[in-house]
Amino acid sequence: MAASPKPRKIIHVDMDMFYAAVELRDRPELRGKPLVVGGRPDSRSVATTANYEARKFGIHSGMSCAMARRLCPHCLFIPPDFRKYRRVSERIHAIFHEYTDLVESVSLDEAYLDVTRNKKNEASATRLAREIKRSIFAATGLTASAGVASTLFVAKIASDARKPNGLCVVRPEQVMDFIRPLPVLKIPGIGRVTNARLQRLGIRTVADLEQRSLPFLEEHFGKFGRYLFDIARGIDERPVTPWRERLSYGAEETFASDIVKKGPLLEFLRECSQRVFSELHEEGKLARTVTLKVKYSDFQLISRRCTRDNFHSSPEEVYGAACALLARTEAGTRPVRLAGIALSNFEPVRREKEMAVAPLFKEVKSD
């Protein structure tokens, strides 16, 4: 019998209330006050981050600033300074690379590190995680939370378990006890839509999921069923993939007023297709997948995506796909607040070493 491979040592690092923390570091007089990084509350902009004081009022990322102000009238609103966040992000990534080059950036403030073998020749991933956190704080004055586990998904859930400034270590023999009680919404990749579908099937926790057979899950969730089946057993063999390319190129807009008619939406999508296609093309890439994102006036966010066998080789082709996707939404009957498209699944022409940027559709959970 083949010996089972030794468990890997994965660290997932995630900065605490990242944008807000950077602003509070630079403006200490604001500490202790509820704060949102986002546009003006009288505009239609959205909160990118809320500090913990603001979260106590129910404010969260993705919420409109107007709503945030209704929940907490004395909340402060600070405009985002992306260049500054990017600089901090580069600094923390430089620290990660002092430990290993097996670093996978997920967004500006989040990365996976495979430290099974590492540049410090340190056997304890826990010790390394502690050192990385300390080093990030020394370099940036910001706290990070870290999760240590033998798989990506458990490390990610663990980094969230003791926020802020937390460290959570889940040893291989503890994985099942750690994940079984979790609500399925904690599983990376499960968003509101899939969660609702799971709830309807009576699946609330990972333990409930574990009870279901593979054919059952595949029947209800297609390919994603396999992922769910494995996750419920603590299995996740995805490797840490260093210097991942940008996940998607996208453009989106929150409209000045909600759009009810399809005509102006199509016009907007045509413009978007042109813009996004050009951006991708300039980098010598073509995409197979087009994703359309639509937020209705009641903030329900949906995405529709299509993947072809061959690449979309012109902006018109991208636009054609976007139109077909729009037909699968309720646009035209329900008012639309925001729309956008993203291209992904690239032709691997050039794999430049570049840091992944925050995926544009981070908050979209495809259904």
Q: Active-site positions?
A: 110
Choice between 18 and 96, CB closer to Mg ion? 18
Beta bridge partners, 30, equal: none
**Minimum distance from residue 23 beta carbon to Mg ion (Å):** 14
CB-based contacts of 75: which residues, under 8 Å, 6+ apart? Answer: 34, 35, 36, 41, 54, 57, 59, 68, 69
Q: Which stretch binds ligand TTP (CB under 6 A): 4-12, 105-113, 320-328, 330-338?
A: 105-113
Stretch that binds Mg ion, among 6-14, 54-62, 178-186, 308-316 (CB under 5 A): 6-14
Among the listed residues 10, 13, 15, 158, the single contact to ligand TTP using CB under 6 A: 15
Q: Where are the alpha helices (DSSP H) in the chain?
A: 18-26, 52-55, 65-71, 82-99, 125-140, 152-161, 175-179, 192-200, 206-210, 214-221, 223-231, 262-282, 315-326
The pair of structure tokens assigned to 38 is: 């986002």
Residues 56-75 that bind ligand TTP (CB under 6 A): 61-62
- Is residue 18 involved in binding ligand TTP (CB under 6 A)? yes
Using CB distances below 5 to 8 A depending on partner kind, what does residue 62 bind out of ligand TTP, Mg ion, none? ligand TTP
What is the distance between the alpha carbons of residues 155 and 113, in angstroms, rounded to a whole number? 10
- Residue 320 C-alpha from the chain's centroid: 27
* CA–CA distance, 189 with 233 (Å, rounded to integer): 16
d(CA 95, CA 13): 11
Q: Is residue 186 a contact residue for ligand TTP (CB under 6 A)?
A: no
Site for ligand TTP in 129-168 (CB under 6 A): 163-164
Report the alpha-carbon angle 302-303-309, nearest 5.
165
Q: Choose the binding region for ligand TTP from 13-21, 179-187, 286-294, 319-327 (rule: CB under 6 A).
A: 13-21
Nearer to ligand TTP, 60 or 197 (CB): 60
Interaction of residue 49 with ligand TTP, rule CB under 6 A: yes
Asked if 23 is part of the footprint of Mg ion (rule: CB under 5 A), the reply reads no
- Count of chain residues binding ligand TTP (CB under 6 A): 18
Residue 23 interacting with ligand TTP (CB under 6 A)? no
Which residue in this structure is represented by tokens 């499960």?
A: 190
Closest CB to Mg ion among residues 47, 280: 47
Kindly give, in sequence order, each residue whose CB lies less than 8 Å from that of residue 188, ignoring residues fewer than 6 positions away: 152, 153, 156, 157
Residues of this chain, 292-311, that bind ligand TTP according to CB under 6 A: none
* β partners of residue 289: 307, 344
Residues 169 and 155: their CA atoms lie apart, in Å, by 8
* CA angle 118–188–336, rounded 5-degree value: 135
The yes or no reply on residue 14 touching Mg ion (CB under 5 A) is: yes
Q: Going by C-beta distance under 8 Å and a sequence separation of 6 or more, which residues neighbour residue 87?
A: none
Residues between 51 and 90 that touch Mg ion (CB under 5 A): none
- Residue whose CB is nearest to Mg ion in the complex, by number: 14
Pairwise CA distance, residues 182 & 14, whole Å: 20
Site membership for ligand TTP, residue 362 (CB under 6 A): yes
Amino acid identity of residue 257, one-letter, is S
Residue 53 found at the interface with ligand TTP (CB under 6 A): no
Closest CB 99 distance from ligand TTP, rounded Å: 20
Nearer to Mg ion, 109 or 114 (CB): 109
**49, interface contact from ligand TTP, Mg ion, none, CB < 5-8 Å by kind:** ligand TTP
Position 358 contacts Mg ion (CB under 5 A):
no
**Is residue 93 part of the contact set for ligand TTP (CB under 6 A)?**
no
347 scored as a contact of ligand TTP (CB under 6 A): no
The residues binding ligand TTP (CB under 6 A) are 14-19, 48-49, 61-62, 107, 109-110, 163-164, 358, 362-363
